Amino acid sequence: MSGEVAAITMANRPAVAAAAMKDAAITALVAAGLFIPIVGLRTDVGADGALFVRQRWDDVAILVVLAFFGRLGLVTWRGLRGERRPASAARAEALRRAGTFVAPLLLGLAVALPFIPGTGRYELDLGILVLTYVMLGWGLNIVVGLAGLLDLGYVAFYAVGAYSYALLATTFGLSFWICLPLAGIMAAFWGILLGFPVLRLRGDYLAIVTLAFGEIIRVVLINWVSLTGGPNGITGIPRPTFFGLPFSMSGEPGTFAGFFGIEPSPVHRVIFLYYLILALALLTNWVSIRMRRQPLGRAWEAMREDEIACRSLGINIRNTKLTAFAIGAMFGGFAGAFFATRQGFISPESFTFIESAIILAIVVLGGMGSQIGIAIAAMVMIGGFEVFRDLDEYRMLVFGGVMVLIMVVRPRGLVGSRTPTVALGTRRAIGAEHVGQGRG
Amino acid sequence: MAYALQQLINGISLGMIYGLIAVGYTMVYGIIGMINFAHGDIFMIGAFIALISIVMLVSGGIMEGPAAILIVLLVSMCVTSLYGWTVERIAYRPLRGSFRLAPLISAIGMSIVLQNYVQVAQGARVKPIEPLVPGGVTVMQAEAFVVQFSFMQMMIIAVTLAVLAVFTWLVTRTPLGRAMRACEQDRKMAGLLGIDTDRTISLTFVIGASLAAVAGTMYLLRYGVIDFYIGFLAGVKAFTAAVLGGIGSLPGAVLGGLLIGLIETFWSAYFSVQYKDVAAFSILAIVLIFMPTGLLGRAEVEKV
């Protein structure tokens, strides 16, 4: 299977067609080798408890034929498309101009969503879910996108935030607004705790230790039954109140509906939660943008571009790394507290490695460091995941496949341009490939 | 004493399995500098292919004994290599030379795909098999405790050592091994000197996958049950082992695997089973604080 196929012209058409057919035939052969054992021979537990094999040759045949024509189509398309032309300056300019409208448009849509006619409970819940991931993406972006430190255990801070809120609220009866900063502080503290041992580690050593950290937190949450309730989790977490006014259906003066004199409705709480997570996400975004203009944020970006140069210029690498971990973790903690109050129930099930992987994927698919890109990636990944609910067991399969596909087609993420933080003269958007990726 | 000896035997046979998977991680890391997150799932596929061929061969009454195990091993290695090759072709080769995190995300996506593919195709229930190699020898008898060295454990250790010997020969003595080491040192230069780097990388994935298939078969024979989810934890442990030994170093991977296996068994035997993963990960973190490039890893020289 040679990867490159010559562009199709009139003269070489038969030769190219033959090559494409051969290519597709080899693909079909490989597909047969892959699918015959796993798909064709399904093992099932029989009545006597022993395994027996059920043969499914029609499924294998369908898959092999699909592989054949899929490859044939791909090769033909590549041949017809020919050399890809570099993007012209005019097109880039038009894209940039369109890009400036995307962010305000999305923000306006997000603010107005609860009042758009036809928006029901389901749409709001989906909006809350997407915004939670947008916030987590922006939080992780501080660590991965700005500071260039690869963190595969971000979900640990999400878990710390959620459990902090749940435990503080159920044990001491503290309100959400007191617990929220506490949960953030707890998560930031754990961020620093993780930061210390990994200060000297680079690249993939850092990745595995952060992954291990996430797993340690999860295993402890499962096994420390007296504190966390173990696998059963914590139930009865207080639902949020509107600054002290509970969302109750009774309509008494002390409730939200009674205080404002409106008809009690269960949607009020959902709308409140929606605006709460929107505000938290925008706070994360605002802090990230402001941080990039502060000495600390500039130190993060300098560290990502070149750690040695950064150190030579007298920047304290230790503090820079620890603050990146701490501030990134803090936003994870806020999101965790929000998650706990929204669900009313948390268990270690919600904080597996796959969550970390999804958040990291959102950051990378969005184009690391691009705020709007991360929001779009979260919408595509999480929204798409919910929309394809009907696929049932194939849903995760498609989800993983889309992750691979986006990366292969757009390795630098969906948004391929950045506006540099500092520039001589006017600031212009540059290609993402000019931005360092960090080695930490 | 007797108890400790038994744990030693158990730990080594478990560590051998981790070592085999870790070699796959470390080889891929050495040659293209990426974490192949899907490798744990390649191991899981190896175990499933072995399971299917055992059900076909042995339970069908066609063959039994050592010959059957050999056939199962070979079938599993061939088919799993094909999976390893395909994964590299689809998810990693288009990203060659791209920025660092792109292949990582692609690998995580591939891992999700493989896991759910096996779940859909083979069902989510655990698959049990009858033990194929029963019995063992009594090594020592102290008071009421009998130290057993089962034939299964002997076989795991023997097969692993044999496979590792062949593999070492392959890497150190053959033209392919030389090409692999050259690509590891400097891929561009190796390409300029006439080495087909794409082919060498593909073969690296094939070899890594076939080692993972051996590990998967051994895992299946040892535990007797598998499901589609075994790849994740085994993969993370093996990756931990590779990092502990110094990623990129082949003897380091085996050493790291043995260490992780021993830590896990001894911790479960003397302290608590629930926290065995915490123990393995904590020791990794502690080792890395003092030796940031693992036990046998080379310190990276930074050029300015």
Higher-pLDDT residue of B74 and B148 is B74
pLDDT at A1 over 50: no
Cβ B149 vs Cβ B136: under 8 Å? yes
Q: What is the pLDDT of residue A136?
A: 95
pLDDT band at A14 (very low <50, low <70, confident <90, very high): confident
- How close, in Å, is residue B231 to chain A by CA atoms? 13
- Strand, coil or helix: A41: strand
- Which residues in chain B have their CB less than 8 angstroms from residue A436's CB? none
Higher-pLDDT residue of A243 and B49 is B49
Contact A204 B113 (CB under 8 A): no
Q: What is the pLDDT of residue A437?
A: 66
Cβ A161 vs Cβ A167: under 8 Å? no
Chain A contact probe: residue of B55, B101, B196, B264 with most A CBs at under 10 A: B101
Chain A contact probe: residue of B26, B28, B88, B99 with most A CBs at under 10 A: B99
d(CA A51, CA A39): 16
A253-288 pLDDT per residue, tens: 777 777 777 777 778 888 889 999 999 999 999 999
Cβ B265 vs Cβ B257: under 8 Å? no
- What does DSSP say about strands B136-142 and B145-150: parallel, antiparallel, or unpaired? antiparallel
Which of A41, A144, A407 is closest, CB to CB, to B102? A407
Positive or negative: CA dihedral A149, A150, A156, A158: positive
Residue of A nearest to B91 (CA): A404
Which two tokens mark A199?
């200060």
Q: What is the pLDDT of residue A3?
A: 45
Which two tokens mark A145?
């996108």
- Percent of chain B past pLDDT 90, that is, above it, reads 37
Contact B302 A308 (CB under 8 A): yes
Q: For residue B72, what are the CA distances in angstroms to B111, B214, B225?
A: 24, 10, 16
Strands annotated E in B21-160: 127-128, 136-142, 145-150
B83-131 pLDDT per residue, tens: 999 999 999 988 887 777 888 889 999 999 999 999 999 888 888 887 7
Which of A44, A197, A203 is closest, CB to CB, to B285? A197
Which two tokens mark A368?
């690391």
Give the CA angle between residues A371, A374, A376 to the nearest 5°: 110
The full length of chain A comes to: 440
Helix (H) or strand (E) holding B87: helix B66-87
B187-214 pLDDT per residue, tens: 889 999 999 999 999 999 999 999 999 9
Question: Per DSSP, what are the bridge partners of residue A258?
Answer: none
Question: Per DSSP, what are the bridge partners of residue A44?
Answer: A52
d(CA A52, CA A41): 9
The mean per-residue pLDDT over the stretch A172-199 comes to 90
Q: Return all residues near B56 (Cβ < 8 A) that are at least 6 apart.
A: A41, A53, B62
pLDDT at A9 over 50: yes
Residue B299 domain flag? no
Residue B132 domain flag? yes
- The residue range of the domain holding B201 is 2-231
The mean per-residue pLDDT over the stretch A17-34 comes to 88
Q: What is the pLDDT of residue B111?
A: 93
Higher-pLDDT residue of A431 and B37 is B37
Closest to B126 (Cα-Cα) out of B181, B47, B58, B184: B47
Q: How far is CA A50 from the centre of its chain?
A: 42
A315-329 pLDDT per residue, tens: 999 999 999 999 999
Which of B48, B95, B105 is closest, CB to CB, to A38? B48
- Percent of chain B past pLDDT 70, that is, above it, reads 96
d(CA B185, CA B32): 10
- How close, in Å, is residue B29 to chain A by CA atoms? 9
Higher-pLDDT residue of A417 and B100 is B100
Cβ B288 vs Cβ A205: under 8 Å? yes
Residue B49 domain flag? yes
Contact B105 A222 (CB under 8 A): no
Contact B79 A30 (CB under 8 A): no
- What does DSSP say about strands A41-45 and A51-55: parallel, antiparallel, or unpaired? antiparallel
- Which residues in chain A have their CB less than 8 angstroms from residue B79's CB? 33-34, 37
Residue of B nearest to A433 (CA): B99
Question: Per DSSP, what are the bridge partners of residue B226?
Answer: B127
d(CA A25, CA A299): 54
Contact A38 B300 (CB under 8 A): no
Q: What is the pLDDT of residue B273?
A: 82
- Percent of chain A past pLDDT 90, that is, above it, reads 28
Contact A368 B101 (CB under 8 A): yes
Residue B247 domain flag? no
| Number of folded domains that form chain B | 1
Strands annotated E in B174-302: 225-226
Higher-pLDDT residue of A102 and A26 is A26
Closest to A325 (Cα-Cα) out of A189, A165, A217, A202: A189
CA-based end-to-end distance of chain A: 37
Contact A49 B128 (CB under 8 A): yes
How many Cβ contacts (< 8 angstroms) between chains A and B?
190
Which two tokens mark A67?
């592989």
Which two tokens mark B239?
């990756």
Which of A53, A357, A437 is closest, CB to CB, to B108? A357
Helices (H), A36-175: 57-81, 89-112, 121-141, 155-172
Q: Where are the domains of chain A?
A: 3-80, 107-436
Residue of B nearest to A402 (CA): B109
- How close, in Å, is residue A373 to chain B by CA atoms? 15
The full length of chain B comes to: 304
Exposure string for B102-112, b = 16+ CB within 10 A, e = fewer: bbbbbbbbbbb
Closest to B220 (Cα-Cα) out of B21, B48, B7: B48
d(CA B188, CA B191): 5
Cβ A72 vs Cβ A21: under 8 Å? yes
Residue B260 domain flag? no
Q: What is the pLDDT of residue A82?
A: 65
Which of A41, A208, A433 is closest, CB to CB, to B52? A41
Question: Per DSSP, what are the bridge partners of residue A431?
Answer: A417
A361-384 pLDDT per residue, tens: 899 888 877 888 899 999 988 888
Q: For residue A280, what are the CA distances in angstroms to A121, A275, A326, A341?
A: 21, 8, 17, 14
Q: How far is CA A305 from the centre of its chain?
A: 23
Phi, psi (5° rounding) for residue B197?
Answer: -70, -40
B140-174 pLDDT per residue, tens: 777 777 888 888 888 889 998 998 899 989 988 99
d(CA B284, CA A216): 12
d(CA B265, CA B145): 17
Which two tokens mark A343?
């669900």
- Percent of chain A past pLDDT 70, that is, above it, reads 89
- How close, in Å, is residue B197 to chain A by CA atoms? 14
- Which residues in chain A have their CB less than 8 angstroms from residue B95's CB? 407-408, 411
B292-302 pLDDT per residue, tens: 888 887 776 66
Chain B contact probe: residue of A408, A410, A434, A439 with most B CBs at under 10 A: A408
Residue B118 domain flag? yes
Q: What is the pLDDT of residue A45?
A: 82
Exposure string for B181-208, b = 16+ CB within 10 A, e = fewer: ebbbeebeebeeeebebeebbbbbbbbb
Residue of B nearest to A212 (CA): B281
pLDDT at A5 over 60: no
Q: Return all residues near A29 (Cβ < 8 A) that are at least 6 apart.
A: none
Which of A43, A203, A433 is closest, CB to CB, to B52? A43
Contact A223 B275 (CB under 8 A): yes
Strands annotated E in B112-232: 127-128, 136-142, 145-150, 225-226
pLDDT at A440 over 60: no
Residue of A nearest to B25 (CA): A204
Exposure string for A87-98, b = 16+ CB within 10 A, e = fewer: eeeeeeeeeeee
Mean pLDDT of chain B: 87
Q: What is the pLDDT of residue A87?
A: 60
Helix (H) or strand (E) holding A245: strand A245-246
Higher-pLDDT residue of B214 and A249 is B214
Residue B215 domain flag? yes
d(CA B62, CA A371): 61
Which two tokens mark A47?
């009545």
Residue at token pair 């300098």: A302
The mean per-residue pLDDT over the stretch A53-58 comes to 85
pLDDT band at A2 (very low <50, low <70, confident <90, very high): very low
Exposure string for B45-68, b = 16+ CB within 10 A, e = fewer: bbbbbbbbbbbbbbbeeeeeeeeb
Assign residue B61 a region (left: φ > 0; alpha: ψ between -120 and 50; beta: otherwise). left
Q: How many helical (H) and strand (E) elements, i.e. helices and strands, does chain B have?
A: 11, 4
Which of A203, A205, A403 is closest, CB to CB, to B112? A403
pLDDT at A182 over 90: yes
